[in-house]
Amino acid sequence: MQPFAETQLTEAVLARLAGCKDERMKQVMASLIGHLHQFVRDVKLTEKEWSQGIEYLTATGKMCDEKRQEYVLLSDVLGVSMLVDTIHHANPGGATESTVLGPFFVHGAPEVPHGGDISAGLAGEPTWISGRVLDTQGAPIADASLDVWLVRPDAKYDVQDPGAGMQLRGRLRTDAQGRYAVRALKPVSYPVPTGGPVGRVLDHMGRHPMRPAHVHFIVTAPGYEQLVTHLFARGDAYLDSDVVFGVKDSLVVAFEPMSDAQAEAVGMPKGSLHVDFDFHLAAVDPTRKGRAALPAVEASADPS
């Protein structure tokens, strides 16, 4: 048999998909094989580079366990996570825009009463975060659930500090008017974990590892699409260069000083900040596939 020429090889591999009975699998694999072969041809991948690539993927796999997912982080910094999000969450009719989940979500955060404090006694800039959960017509959604979590003022999440316990995270519910409120701290910008292969590749590409300051939310209510999003701090130095490409203009909000009267009215110290933001949820569309189930991990972070 004659050896395959470059393009014949691609065709030969694609032809072996003939027996694939799952049409979606066939479509995905054909596209993947075609693009992968074209990539190898485009850059004329050397044997050494091929071998380095295999070693890199192996090292990335070795950094994955139930607490850390280096492949998700790789997907994040290569913009793949946001591309998938953008394709499947095209802001239906006035709903709040979504962004990446990130690796620091923890199932089972403590329930927090309306206006409760999640700052866990940490020093920082006290911030009152409040608003409403509404549908896309502006009607309030009562008893919606909001998971909220944010980074500590030392630029680490609680789960990156073994033994810290739950800090700056909690689960709220809206009242009959759809209102929520929580007492937290102003988030800071922070680097994604750089102690593994993702940190190395960022360095090689001449990229910084920083995310602009943000507060994470997952907003859930029966009959509505689940919303996974952040609120980003206006004025942050990294808004235009978020390492995971997660910033959307509609999610950038002001952390504004509260007047003394405002602060007193809700029991915040003088000089506190506040953020006011209404989330709009889209009604479930039975023709659309919803977001994939959230990762079933207790805490998916790593100190490095």
Residues 67 and 60: their CA atoms lie apart, in Å, by 14
Which of 217, 209, 165, 170 has the alpha carbon at shortest distance from 189?
Answer: 209
Candidate list 95, 133, 181, 192; residue touching ligand BEZ; CB under 6 A = 192
Sheet strands (E) in the chain: 116-117, 126-135, 145-150, 169-173, 179-185, 190-191, 210-211, 214-220, 227-233, 252-253, 256-257, 273-276, 279-281
Token pair 């030392």 in the structure block, residue: 154
Q: Contact between 102 and ligand BEZ (CB under 6 A)?
A: yes
Residue 103 contacts which entry, Fe ion, ligand BEZ, none (Cβ below 5-8 A, type-dependent):
ligand BEZ
Asked if 180 contacts 131 with a C-beta cutoff of 8 angstroms, the reply is: yes
Shortest reach from residue 85's CB to ligand BEZ, in Å? 11
Candidate list 132, 211, 274, 280; residue touching ligand BEZ; CB under 6 A = 211
User: Which of 159/281 has CB closer to ligand BEZ?
Assistant: 159
Residues 8 and 61: their CA atoms lie apart, in Å, by 32
Exposure of 215 in the CB half-sphere (CA atoms within 13 A): 31
DSSP state of 193: P
Shortest reach from residue 100's CB to ligand BEZ, in Å? 5
Residues 237 and 80: their CA atoms lie apart, in Å, by 23
User: Which residues face 220 on adjacent strands?
Assistant: 145
User: Which of 217/255 has CB closer to ligand BEZ?
Assistant: 217
Q: Enter the tokens of residue 271.
A: 């000089």
User: Which of 150/268 has CB closer to ligand BEZ?
Assistant: 150
User: Which of 149/279 has CB closer to ligand BEZ?
Assistant: 149
Shortest reach from residue 291's CB to Fe ion, in Å? 18
DSSP state of 96: P
Residue 100 contacts which entry, Fe ion, ligand BEZ, none (Cβ below 5-8 A, type-dependent):
ligand BEZ
Candidate list 60, 104, 197, 236; residue touching ligand BEZ; CB under 6 A = 104
Q: How many residues bind Fe ion (CB under 5 A)?
A: 1
Residue 74 contacts which entry, Fe ion, ligand BEZ, none (Cβ below 5-8 A, type-dependent):
none
Shortest reach from residue 165's CB to ligand BEZ, in Å? 18
**Positions 97 through 156 that interact with Fe ion (CB under 5 A):** 102
User: Which of 202/268 has CB closer to ligand BEZ?
Assistant: 202
Give Cα 23 to chain centroid, integer Å. Answer: 30
Token pair 């009604």 in the structure block, residue: 283
Residues 160 and 192: their CA atoms lie apart, in Å, by 11
Shortest reach from residue 231's CB to ligand BEZ, in Å? 12
What residues make contact with Fe ion under the rule CB under 5 A?
102
What residues make contact with ligand BEZ under the rule CB under 6 A?
73, 76, 100, 102-104, 192, 211, 244
